[in-house]
């Protein structure tokens, strides 16, 4: 087959739409595998930085970008007309939720509309953006197929869920097994050939709908289990039991138990969002996904619980939340990354401000000019700055932050991540 031969011979040109946390690492892996890789994004600033060899994604070293740019293997552009010259294109665009918790696939539709004007014979289109089962066949396929341009014969369409875990040093785009499902068996074969030539392990599945559901199951599994352990944390708090010690002891069982940990809420683009894509689709089929909805309610309530903890900690100091100065330690959604998408810290900050607290923050990884933090003051961790605060809360436990120094100078500290495990102090309030 001509396209598979071009892929195996490294003669194919590979395109990626969307140069974020998913698209840019994938683009680099295509270039690393010896292909000409073209990235397309509507954000001119991202495109300029890629073409300058300046990575804005922590998991992509700038040295890799410069190496592949110099070798002529990688380039980026805002001009979608380059798609006319690519053999394959991966769609890696955001898929947020609307305020009504309905899926927003407008970015996918927009990307496919751009492809429409440049789609050609023997082209492979792969959707990687997380979405609900049926999107590829019900939305994308009708936009591309016609009586004379048939999927599986004239062009190929597949879904392969992204599984990026930002900041994970052991598992990356290259070595995470790649699930692939095509609209037809031939589509699966072509998409598998693409990823086999670039990534470590391919997992073909029987249909595109199976592939779409795989990612939703993975993150729903995490959401439900985090919801369970958050509920256990709330229960243990009522009974004056250390939930962290309970989890550590339970984790010694060599079978039948997998530790999950409580926290201030869910963040990132996947876990807070993907389960609702699944439950929304289930409702359309007449099925109520009660576990998913309940886990969402529990996880969504955790920021408010953290604020109650902060208020209680202040009460112990004979202070009220209204008028107190609160230091938030860590505003990204998880440790050691700079991504604040859906971060529970933003909810906590908003709740504290609405209750009259003055809020400052410290996060060594998040750029202070980020628009969602423009109204806040970021501080350095000096004795004077810390001492001017009435309470601190560890929301995200970055490595390299001197939490002992914070504890020394702060009247009381709420630890939502068990960062201060093993340290005994009357100043520490656990989740």
The catalytic site residues sit at 270
Residues 6+ apart with CB under 8 A from 123: 86, 87, 88, 89, 155, 156
Strand order in the sheet with 36-40: 74-77, 36-40, 13-17, 88-91, 123-127, 155-159, 178-182, 202-204
Q: Which of 331, 333, 219 is nearest to 267 (CA)?
A: 333
Contact 189, 154 (CB under 8 A): no
Contact 39, 19 (CB under 8 A): yes
For residues 361 and 379, give the distance between their C-alpha atoms in angstroms, rounded to a whole number: 6
Contact 332, 302 (CB under 8 A): no
For residues 425 and 427, give the distance between their C-alpha atoms in angstroms, rounded to a whole number: 5
411-to-314, 403, 414, 419 alpha-carbon distances in Å: 9, 13, 11, 17
For residues 55 and 352, give the distance between their C-alpha atoms in angstroms, rounded to a whole number: 34
Give the phi and the psi of residue 413 in degrees, each rounded to 5.
Answer: -135, 125
Residue 156: its H or E element: strand 155-159
């Amino acid at each position: 087959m001509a396209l598979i031969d071009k892929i195996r011979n490294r003669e194919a040109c590979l395109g990626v739409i969307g140069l974020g946390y998913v698209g840019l690492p994938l683009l680099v892996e295509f270039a690393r595998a010896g292909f000409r890789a073209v990235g397309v994004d509507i954000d001119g600033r991202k495109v300029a930085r890629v073409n300058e060899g300046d990575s804005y994604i922590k998991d992509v070293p700038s040295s890799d970008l410069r190496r592949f740019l110099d070798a002529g293997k990688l380039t980026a552009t805002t001009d979608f007309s380059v798609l006319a010259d690519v053999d394959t294109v991966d769609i890696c665009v955001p898929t947020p939720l609307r305020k009504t918790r309905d899926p927003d696939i407008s970015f996918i539709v927009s990307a496919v509309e751009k492809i429409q004007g440049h789609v050609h014979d023997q082209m492979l289109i792969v959707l990687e953006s997380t979405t609900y089962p049926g999107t590829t066949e019900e939305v994308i396929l009708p936009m591309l197929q016609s009586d004379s341009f048939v999927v599986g014969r004239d062009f190929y369409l597949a879904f392969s869920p992204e599984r990026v875990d930002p900041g994970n040093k052991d598992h990356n785009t290259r070595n995470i097994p790649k699930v692939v499902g095509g609209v037809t068996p031939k589509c699966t074969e072509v998409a598998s050939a693409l990823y086999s030539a670039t990534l470590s392990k391919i997992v073909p599945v029987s249909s595109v709908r199976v592939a779409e559901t795989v990612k939703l199951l993975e993150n729903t599994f995490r959401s439900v289990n985090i919801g369970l352990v958050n509920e256990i944390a709330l229960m243990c708090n009522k009974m004056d039991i250390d939930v962290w010690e309970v989890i550590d002891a339970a984790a010694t069982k060599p079978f039948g138990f997998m530790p999950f940990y409580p926290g201030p809420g869910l963040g990132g683009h996947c876990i807070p969002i993907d389960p609702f894509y699944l439950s929304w689709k289930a409702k359309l089929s007449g099925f109520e996904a009660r576990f998913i909805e309940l886990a969402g309610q529990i996880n969504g309530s955790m920021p408010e619980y953290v604020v109650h903890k902060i208020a209680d900690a202040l009460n112990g100091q004979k202070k009220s939340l209204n008028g107190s100065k609160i230091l938030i330690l860590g505003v990204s959604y998880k440790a050691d990354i700079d991504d604040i998408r859906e971060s529970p810290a933003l909810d906590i900050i908003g709740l504290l401000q609405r209750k009259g607290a003055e809020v400052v923050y410290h996060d060594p990884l998040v750029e202070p000019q980020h628009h969602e933090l423009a109204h806040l003051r970021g501080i350095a961790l000096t004795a004077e700055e810390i001492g001017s605060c009435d309470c601190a809360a560890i929301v995200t436990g970055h490595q390299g932050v001197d939490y002992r120094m914070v504890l020394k100078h702060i009247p009381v500290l709420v630890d939502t991540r068990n960062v201060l495990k093993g340290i005994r102090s009357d100043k520490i309030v656990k989740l």
